[in-house]
């Protein structure tokens, strides 16, 4: 245990690290609340998991399309104005979605407003990762920073779904979604006060290619693998909600997501303190291969309660996989594309989540839960196989 905690104790003693982590956790909480809250609200309003999943999927796809544009803008002008603009537009679009669905539920209206909200999502998660790249050079401190970042994300994805589950239990889906929208507005104010912004570096006049980091082939492999990994996240989110709803315990869907995130936080904390000799690319592939087995095992669960230990075991592998891919992107992406490289990663990540959400919704409606879990396991296995094409020049 001492070997596990000593590296973290040293890391948190570095200047501003504690404050950056605290502000990041607070400002990213709405990210963990939004999709589950929106899904349950739209399921109630529209009466269909398929339609609700499609709208949530469109939200993520719009986010994916606009993320690189935001990233290139941030690399040129810095983060302040993009934060201010998105911090107003996104909450406003989602508030209109809620009001519209309550007054006159309509799939088309919900889809349009979700797309606007997704297009203007505040890029706090991407900015947080770029901040750590600016704060530390490539080495043990950056590795620890990205491990802490992955664990803090899982803390968010433990607290966020748990809070939504509580609001579903004591209130209603409308309460839950309203709280998520309000928190998204407050999150920007929190991030703008983060001491980490003083470490921000950008090169407004650096030479850039039209395609930016997409000219780097190894990054493409990482991005495609990211899609397979995060497709499973979208499938699990809808499948857990559907399994819990079918069992008559809708709030248990949030509990399953929280359990999954607790497992991921534990796995990420252990992984961050380890010094594995296996090349980073192989660590990434191994985590995805094991995760494919755990997700596939969900098909054998006889009821929603048996999914709880499986959710935890699957979670143990998520943060290590995300930490490894973040380190690879920070190594492969040049300084002039520091933010844009992470936003392209986010594009593939949220595309995976969004398409996984939509696919899972339709599969559950048409063929059942088993086929949804099978689709996630299959794409994870494919991503793990693709990772064998990556080559490493350092461990």
- Domain assignment of residue 335, yes or no: yes
Which of the residue ranges 2-6, 58-62, 100-104, 346-350 has the most confident prediction, judged by mean pLDDT? 100-104
Q: 134: domain range?
A: 8-389
* Predicted pLDDT of residue 395: 38
pLDDT at residue 393 above 50? no
Confidence of residue 375 (pLDDT cuts 50, 70, 90): very high
Q: pLDDT tens digits, residue range 189-223?
A: 888 888 888 877 766 555 666 677 778 888 889 99
CA distance 225 to 231: 10
| SS3 labels along 192-243 | HCCHHHHHCCCCCCCCCCCCHHHHCHHHHHHHHHHHHHHHHHHHHHHHHHHH
Angle at 29 between CA 32 and CA 258, to 5 degrees: 45
pLDDT reported for residue 394:
42
- Whether 3 maps to a domain, the answer reads no
- CA dihedral (173, 176, 180, 183) positive or negative: positive
Look up residue 278 and give its two tokens. Answer: 């296996």
Residue 13 belongs to a domain: yes
Q: Please report the pLDDT score of residue 54 as a whole number.
A: 86
pLDDT, tens digit, 9 for 90 and up, residues 91-115: 999 999 999 999 988 999 999 999 9
pLDDT band at 1 (very low <50, low <70, confident <90, very high): low
The answer to whether residue 1 sits within a structural domain is: no
Q: What is the pTM of this model?
A: 0.71
- How many domains does one find in the chain? 1
- Look at residue 104 and tell me if it is in a domain: yes
Residue 394 resides in a domain: no
What pLDDT score does 390 carry?
79
End-to-end CA distance of the chain: 24
Q: What angle do CA 184, 188, 191 make, to 5 degrees?
A: 130
Residue 385 pLDDT: 92
Report whether 116 contacts 63 (CB < 8 A).
no
Crossing angle, helix 280-297 and helix 369-386, to 10 degrees?
A: 160
CATH of the domain at 77: 1.20.1250.20
Q: Could you tell me which residue, 294 or 143, shows the higher pLDDT?
A: 294
- Let me know the angle formed at the C-alpha of 129 by 112 and 93, rounded to the nearest 5 degrees: 20
| 249: helix, strand or coil | coil
Which tens digits make up the pLDDT trace of 24-48? 888 888 888 888 899 889 989 988 8
Predicted pLDDT at 206 = 58
Q: Where is 153: in which H helix or E strand?
A: helix 140-170
**261 close to 379: Cβ distance less than 8 angstroms:** no
Q: Whose CA is closest to 344, among 215, 247, 170?
A: 215
């Amino acid at each position: 245990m001492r070997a596990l905690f000593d590296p973290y104790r040293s890391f948190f003693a570095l200047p501003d690290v504690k404050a950056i982590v605290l502000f990041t956790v607070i400002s990213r909480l709405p990210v963990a609340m939004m999709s589950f809250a929106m899904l349950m609200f739209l399921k109630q309003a529209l009466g269909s998991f398929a339609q609700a999943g499609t709208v949530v999927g469109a939200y993520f796809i719009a986010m994916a399309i606009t993320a690189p544009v935001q990233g290139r803008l941030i690399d040129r002008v810095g983060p302040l104005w993009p934060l201010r603009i998105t911090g107003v537009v996104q909450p406003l679009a989602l508030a209109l979605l809620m009001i519209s669905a309550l007054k006159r539920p309509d799939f088309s209206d919900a889809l349009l407003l979700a797309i606007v909200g997704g297009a203007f999502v505040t890029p706090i998660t991407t900015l947080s990762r770029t901040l750590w790249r600016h704060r530390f050079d490539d080495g043990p401190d950056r590795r620890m920073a990205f491990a802490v970042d992955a664990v803090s994300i899982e803390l968010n994805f433990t607290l966020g779904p748990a809070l939504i589950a509580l609001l579903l239990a004591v209130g209603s889906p409308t309460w839950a979604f309203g709280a998520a929208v309000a928190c998204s507005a407050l999150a920007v104010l929190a991030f703008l006060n983060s001491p980490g912004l003083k470490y921000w570096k950008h090169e407004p006049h650096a030479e850039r290619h039209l395609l930016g980091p997409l000219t780097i082939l190894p990054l493409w492999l990482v991005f495609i693998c990211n899609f397979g990994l995060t497709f499973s996240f979208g499938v699990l989110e809808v499948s857990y909600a559907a399994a819990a709803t079918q069992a008559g315990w809708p709030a248990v869907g949030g509990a399953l997501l929280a359990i999954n995130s607790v497992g991921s936080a534990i796995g990420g904390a252990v992984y961050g303190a380890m010094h594995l000799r296996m090349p980073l690319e192989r660590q990434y592939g191994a985590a995805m291969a094991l995760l494919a087995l755990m997700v596939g095992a969900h098909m054998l669960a006889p009821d929603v309660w048996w999914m709880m230990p499986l959710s935890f075991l699957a979670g143990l592998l998520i943060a290590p996989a995300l930490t490894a891919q973040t380190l690879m992107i920070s190594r492969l992406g040049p300084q002039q594309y520091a933010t844009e490289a992470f936003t392209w990663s986010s594009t593939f990540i949220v595309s995976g989540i969004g398409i996984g959400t939509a696919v899972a919704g339709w599969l559950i409606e048409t063929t059942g839960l088993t086929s949804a879990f099978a689709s996630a396991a299959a794409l994870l296995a494919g991503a793990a196989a693709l990772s064998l094409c990556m080559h490493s020049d350092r461990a």
